[in-house]
Structure 1
Amino acid sequence: MESSDQVCSNMEEHNFQDWTVRYRSSHILPSKCTDNCKSGNTECTFCRYNHELNLTHLPEMVFPNNILQLVHKSGCSVEFNAFDALKLVKSENMNVKISCAETWKRAREDTGLVERTVGDFDWTFQTNYKGTFSNLDVHDSEVGIDMEKLRQKEEILLYRNLTLFEDELHDNGIAVCSVRIRVMPSGFFILLRYFLRVDNVIIVVNDSRIYHDFTTDYIILETAQRENKVSDLRVPIGVMNEPDEVTPLLALKSSKCQKLVIPKCDL
């Protein structure tokens, strides 16, 4: 029997070449346990998130049933979900908070958000989540995604955009993790993005771009971390509010390219 927080989902399944794409979207995580879970029994999603994630509290909006999954006929898979993204929110991700804490505190002394910087908790929920990969052989690579090929006009067979979690930082900015997929006749392209904007303080973007050409036996994964203080960005506020517009303007802090080799199918 499904728990109450697993119903009312929008579910789709599509087949492209050797891949099955599964997409599911649903409502946000409830604010309390709705299944009267008891210790030792199977937990509902709310209890699992609260018991298994090492977080003082969760983002304002978590979408536990928003899942994008791609399964190859060989058995390997690529998946994106909120739980795995939030597992990477740890105290070691406090650099954004510490580097601008005094400026941020002075600008926000009259809000309740200042108290959330105390201790080891990263109130920005910064995550370096790249996706959840299974049965793929990963190698570092110097060959990146052919962006010129991606810019070529092709029929869009499938396009979906999912939010995994979001927090408005008590109206002092936004932290959001989302994933979107585009499938063309030649392959698929996925953008997983964590976007942070603390008003008047800083903008951070962690991107994972994933591309697969259906004629190849590998997936290309490109990751990039970008960051700028707001005071260093000479752009209109409207641009800062649009991740797609502001991301190319941010300073690149680190990047990496990897090749994910798809296993051969048994004959």
Structure 2
Amino acid sequence: MTDWAPIPPDRGSGIAGAYRAACHLELRALKPGNVHIHADGHGMTVSQFLASADATAPILARPGLSVGERIFEAVAATRAAVGCNTNLGILLLAAPLAQAALTGGGPLRDRLGRVLADLTVEDAELTFRAIALAEPAGLGRVEGADVHAPATVTLLAAMREAQDRDRIARQYATDFADLFETGVPRLRYWLKAAASYEEATERLYLFFLSTVLDSHVARKYGLERAEWLRGRASELSENVAPDRAFTLTRSRLGELDRELKYNGVNPGTTADIVVGCLLAHWLMQSP
């Protein structure tokens, strides 16, 4: 097993260090239904996720690549390393963030907006190939943006067409609003309230799980199951205020984790967005 990245990442470790730290911290947190150090699940192990982070970090940090090239090469590296899809959603979020971090001039989100606006049809073609290679319950088929056919629109246009049914796609259409307007501010609020990074990550995951339908669960099981999951998470969120003990809620997170894994329910989109929030948080602090 790979060495664990320091949390927070070492100052000066750059994009690769921030990315590895985000992936590793997400695995340290007890996130119901996902793979983490407290329990594997869905036929996947923590070691596979760690290997995926190691294989893809250099690609995300490499200068001179387009967003589409980062996504495709990282997905290919993941398949070569672990033989399954462990991180497609993470890579779809991380590639534009890494591209923005490599671009000088202004706050990270402003740079990200320029990166998204400059996405091309070639970026879409490479991303469609990456999605087909990863074989997820993917973005699916929409007119003008079928991932199983040659791209005819830019990657941003394709994501805009998919945004109503895929939360990752929605980030492209909104300049990553869930990350910059909700996730990062809440993460920093909980960290200032003396929560550990692991606890703050669990709180952030539970917040998104209780307020936003997980689009992976909705695609795989339908809206009724996704609404049920949001309701179950809402029942646990009563203790997430910083001035209340988190112990009871954390114990119930473990109960929900076992229930979801027993029924094969994996809120993967929520976990991906949490990784994106962690990565954005650390990239915004990079020198």
TM-score (norm 1): 0.29
Could you say which structure has the higher helix fraction? 2
Higher relative contact order (CA 8 A, sep 6+): 2
Could you say which structure has the higher strand fraction? 1
TM-score (norm 2): 0.27
Max Rg structure: 1
